[in-house]
């Protein structure tokens, strides 16, 4: 991938950082899907599954060239409040095929953002978990109130969309 894609910033895209601050907030979102774990994991790591389950307006500018693997980079763009352009650059910083992977923000809106996606068998279906550790540039009060509300809405909408896509297919 061209160096320019990881260095170029949109408005509100912040400096390059992966350092975890002393204080972060954590949000955990779970769902049970009536689909086998391999299918759920493949869905989460496919470009079409990713794009189809994201809120409207999120565009993939660069998808991991080798697919999801440790060290691969992805670049997204969206508009905050439908107006302000945000570029998000993340790296897959851990990957356990069929079980879990974690993306870590290199550059984006947050001061720190680390998102772990995991699947585990649950009867004939799958128990899926999104675990997000984050810190904004506005402090813990903002993180635990306003940003938590926004993230809840975004992640719960995404899980509902994943359910439609995973359980609606044959």
Distance in angstroms (rounded) separating the CA atoms of residues 69 and 64: 8
The pLDDT assigned to 12 comes to: 52
DSSP, collapsed to helix, strand or coil, labels residue 82 as: coil
* CATH 3.30.530.20 corresponds to the domain 3-168: yes
Distance in angstroms (rounded) separating the CA atoms of residues 125 and 41: 12
Q: Give yes or no for a contact between 13 and 87, defined as CB atoms under 8 angstroms apart.
A: yes
Query: Is pLDDT at 54 greater than 60 in this prediction?
Result: yes
Token pair of 34, please? 């009536």
State the sign of the Cα–Cα–Cα–Cα dihedral 146, 56, 119, 65: negative
Query: Is pLDDT at 35 greater than 80 in this prediction?
Result: yes
Distance in angstroms (rounded) separating the CA atoms of residues 64 and 36: 24
55-105, pLDDT tens digit by residue? 777 888 999 888 889 999 999 988 777 777 788 899 999 999 999 999 999
The domain spans of the chain are: 3-168
Query: Is pLDDT at 20 greater than 70 in this prediction?
Result: yes
The pLDDT assigned to 3 comes to: 47
109-166, pLDDT tens digit by residue? 889 999 999 999 999 999 999 999 999 988 889 999 988 998 898 899 999 999 999 9
């Amino acid at each position: 991938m061209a160096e320019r894609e990881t260095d170029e910033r949109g408005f509100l895209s912040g400096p390059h950082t992966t350092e975890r601050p002393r204080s972060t907030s954590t949000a955990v979102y779970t769902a049970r899907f009536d689909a086998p774990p391999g299918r759920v994991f493949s869905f989460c790591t496919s470009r079409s599954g990713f794009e189809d389950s994201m809120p409207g307006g999120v565009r993939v500018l660069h998808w991991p060239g080798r697919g999801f693997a440790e060290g691969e980079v992805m670049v997204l763009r969206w508009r905050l409040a439908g107006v302000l352009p945000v570029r998000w650059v993340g790296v897959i910083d851990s990957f356990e095929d069929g079980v879990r992977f974690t993306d870590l923000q290199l550059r984006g809106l947050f001061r720190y953002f680390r998102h772990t996606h995991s699947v585990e068998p649950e009867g004939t279906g799958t128990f899926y978990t999104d675990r997000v550790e984050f810190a904004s540039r506005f402090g813990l009060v903002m993180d635990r109130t306003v940003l938590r509300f926004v993230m809840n809405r975004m992640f719960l909408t995404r899980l509902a969309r994943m359910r439609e896509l995973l359980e609606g297919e044959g």
